[in-house]
């Protein structure tokens, strides 16, 4: 955990000393980096950064509430304008309880082996939605709101949608219906009858019921687990439907790998390039382009739920500094690939555990599963008693947020054998941003910029740690001019060069 108490401050001070020693002791590779300002890339939305929480969090109306000042403070530290996504597995077993007398509906849910499972049903009340509006007002964030698709009816969805749309107002970006429908079998659907065509039929039934009572709302879809199997049916279904619902975005999820018991999910795996990111970006961009052409308006694409290791994260991997470097690199890569936003999943351990059937698999890897520890292991913000604490992933998010509102620029970068990545952008005022994420455990890197004046680059923000597996993250907002563009090992830095 990154907690700034006296003991942690002393540890952090010691780590700073180690980092400064590293400037002299680490071997350094000199790499050419060429920024091409004449080749602009995607514009990064000002609200690019986001968090994802389970719908079950709303079953506690005091959580997303204007009175929850500790959580509000952590949201605002991440970004003054972000996007909160409410969804996850528990969205498909949640139910709308408009009055205290409303009885829970019958839900048919199976376990992952296809056997009948005890029903996990979570009520969402009007007070929870009103409190959510107050929370969004206090943070400056907006919301992607998930509504149950798998165990719902159009009438109940419409009743909830109308209330949420009216209460959240301009704070509602769009609705999401269902969570990872490509993974409904065997828990929520029979394999013989579930496919992309069945999905889009059910989706249209709920979406049309909601917009009949809230005509102004928009929708994102399909919020799949990352695989494109449903894309052709989705495209055909929407483009052959007269007057389809308003589509705000194409959405999908991404987890690097898993489950926690997989021995291949380690720090080294976390910091290697993930080729699936590029493949998923290609598929979702093609779908968005086809929808844009067919619907006659631009349809962006959005990664609405993701993180390091699925099923709650892995201790020693998802909750250490390596995860901060992963988050910074992953989010900046998505920005360079044209994504409209990205939401990293987290929240209370109990809620994520319930989404997985009642427990976090990563706890089995702890020496003492009952020991106090931030849960889930990948959460950007941990809830510890009555405190909210930024975890390592949050620091990578904060670094990436420096690019919000900027326009990505093409660059050429060859770090040689050093495990490092780089990203460049231009701010609205003409200043250039440069981020270098050095994921190498031992080698620093010095930049040589052949086509740019070297002077004028200043550090804007840096994160580092004593080791890749450290739980204390050092964040350094610094503004002094730099003599050279050097990035030590285990460090990510954002530089800014003012317009000439």
Residues facing 494 on adjacent strands: 435, 461
- Residue 25: CB atoms within 10 A of its CB come to 12
Q: Across the strands, what pairs with 123? A: 95
Tokens read off for 477? 């907002």
Q: How many percent of the chain have pLDDT more than 70?
A: 91
Note whether 109 and 166 are within 8 A (CB): no
- pLDDT 10s digits, 176-199: 999 999 999 999 999 999 999 999
Predicted pLDDT of residue 453: 59
Tokens of 474: 């050092």
Average pLDDT over residues 40-63: 98
Confidence of residue 476 (pLDDT cuts 50, 70, 90): confident
Q: Which pairing describes strands 444-448 and 486-487: parallel, antiparallel, or unpaired?
A: antiparallel
- Helix%, strand%, coil% for the chain, nearest 5: 35, 25, 40
Give 426's strand partners.
407, 432
CB 162 within 8 A of CB 214: yes
Return d(Cα 434, Cα 258) in angstroms, integer.
Answer: 32
Q: Residue 159, SS3?
A: helix
Rounded Cα–Cα distance for residues 336 and 99 (Å): 46
Model pLDDT, residue 4 = 36
pLDDT at position 120 is 76
Residues 6+ positions from 439 with CB-CB distance below 8 Å:
271, 322, 325, 326, 329, 419, 420, 421, 468, 490
The answer to whether the CB of 410 falls within 8 A of the CB of 43 is: no
CA angle 215, 219, 224 (to 5 degrees): 155
pLDDT digits (tens, 9 = 90+) for 137-170: 999 999 999 999 999 999 999 999 999 999 999 9
Rg, the chain, Cα only: 23
Contact between 269 and 215 under an 8 Å Cβ cutoff? The reply is no
Measured CA distances, 397 to 135, 418, 492 (Å): 21, 22, 12
CB proximity list for 494: less than 8 A, separation 6 or greater: 399, 402, 433, 434, 435, 459, 460, 461, 462
CA–CA separation, 168 and 124 (whole Å): 15
Three-state SS letters, 315-358: CCCCCCHHHHHHHHHHHHHHHHCCCCEEEEECCCHHHHHHHCCC
Tell me what percent of the residues of the chain surpass a pLDDT of 90: 84
Q: What angle do CA 406, 409, 414 make, to 5 degrees?
A: 130
SS3 390: strand
Q: What is the mean pLDDT of residues 410-429?
A: 97
Q: Which residues of the chain form CATH 2.60.40.1180? A: 6-42+405-497
The CATH 3.20.20.80 domain(s) of the chain lie at 46-401
Per the listing, tokens 């009055």 go with 99
Q: 252, 281 in Cβ contact below 8 A?
A: no
Arithmetic mean of pLDDT over the chain: 92
What is the mean predicted confidence (pLDDT) over 464-471?
A: 97
Give the tens place of pLDDT for each residue, 219-233. 999 999 988 999 999
Query: Within the chain, what is the greatest distance between any pair of CA atoms?
Result: 71
Residues 39 and 456: beta-carbon distance below 8 Å: no
Residue 7 has pLDDT above 60, yes or no: no
Its CATH architecture, for the domain 6-42+405-497, is: Sandwich (2.60)
pLDDT classification of 454: cutoffs 50, 70, 90: low
Query: Does residue 14 surpass a pLDDT of 60?
Result: no
Just give the CATH number of 46-401.
3.20.20.80
What's the DSSP call for residue 110? B
Tell me the C-alpha distance between 93 and 121, whole Å. Answer: 5
Neighbours of 455 (CB within 10 A): 9
pLDDT at 455: 59
Judged against a pLDDT cut of 70, whether residue 273 lies above it is answered with: yes
Whether 483 shows a pLDDT value over 70: the answer reads: no
Which tens digit of pLDDT belongs to each residue from 302-318? 999 999 999 999 999 99
b/e 301-313 (16+ beta carbons within 10 angstroms → b):
bbbbbbbbbbbbb
């Amino acid at each position: 955990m990154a907690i700034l108490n006296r003991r942690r401050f002393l540890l952090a001070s010691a780590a700073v000393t180690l980092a400064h020693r590293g400037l002299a002791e680490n071997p350094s590779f000199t790499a050419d980096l060429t920024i091409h300002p004449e080749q602009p890339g995607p514009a990064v939305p000002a609200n690019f950064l986001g968090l994802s929480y389970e719908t079950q969090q709303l079953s506690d109306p005091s959580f997303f509430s204007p009175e929850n000042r500790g959580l509000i403070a952590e949201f605002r530290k991440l970004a003054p304008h972000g996007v909160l996504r409410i969804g996850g597995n528990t969205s498909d077993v949640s139910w709308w309880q408009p009055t205290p007398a409303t009885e829970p509906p019958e839900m048919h849910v199976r376990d992952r082996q296809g056997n009948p499972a005890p029903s996990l049903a979570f009520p969402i009340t009007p007070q929870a939605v009103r409190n959510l509006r107050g929370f969004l007002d206090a943070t400056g964030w907006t919301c992607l709101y998930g509504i149950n698709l798998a165990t719902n009816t159009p009438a109940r969805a419409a009743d909830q949608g109308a209330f949420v749309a009216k209460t959240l107002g301009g704070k509602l970006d769009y609705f999401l219906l269902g969570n990872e429908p490509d993974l409904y079998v065997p828990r929520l659907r029979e394999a013989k009858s579930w496919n992309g065509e069945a999905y889009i039929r059910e989706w249209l039934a709920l979406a049309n019921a909601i917009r009949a009572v809230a005509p102004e709302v928009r929708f994102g879809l399909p919020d799949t687990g990352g695989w494109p199997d449903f894309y052709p049916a989705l495209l055909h279904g929407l483009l052959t439907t007269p007057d389809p619902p308003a589509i705000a975005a194409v959405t999908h999820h991404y987890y690097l790998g898993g489950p926690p018991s997989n021995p291949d999910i380690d720090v080294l795996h976390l910091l290697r390039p993930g080729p699936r990111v590029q493949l998923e970006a290609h598929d979702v961009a093609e779908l968005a382009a086809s929808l844009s052409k067919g619907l006659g308006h631009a349809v962006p694409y959005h990664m609405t739920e993701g993180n390091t290791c699925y099923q709650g994260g892995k201790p020693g991997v998802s909750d250490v500094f390596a995860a901060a470097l992963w988050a910074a690199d992953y989010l900046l890569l998505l920005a360079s690939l044209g994504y409209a936003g990205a939401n990293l999943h987290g929240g209370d351990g109990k809620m994520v555990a319930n989404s997985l059937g009642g427990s976090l698999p990563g706890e089995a890897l702890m020496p003492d599963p009952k020991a106090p520890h931030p849960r889930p292991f990948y959460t950007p913000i941990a809830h510890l008693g009555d405190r909210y604490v930024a975890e390592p992933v949050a620091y990578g998010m904060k670094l990436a947020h420096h690019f919000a509102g900027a326009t990505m620029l093409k660059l050429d970068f060859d770090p040689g054998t050093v495990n490092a990545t780089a990203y460049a952008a231009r701010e609205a005022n003409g200043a250039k941003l440069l981020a270098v994420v050095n994921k190498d455990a031992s080698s620093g890197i010095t930049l040589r910029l052949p086509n740019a004046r070297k002077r004028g680059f200043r550090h804007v923000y840096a994160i580092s740690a004593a080791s890749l597996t450290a739980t204390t993250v050092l964040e350094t907002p610094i503004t002094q001019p730099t003599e050279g563009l050097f990035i030590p090992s285990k460090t990510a830095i954002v530089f800014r060069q003012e317009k000439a």
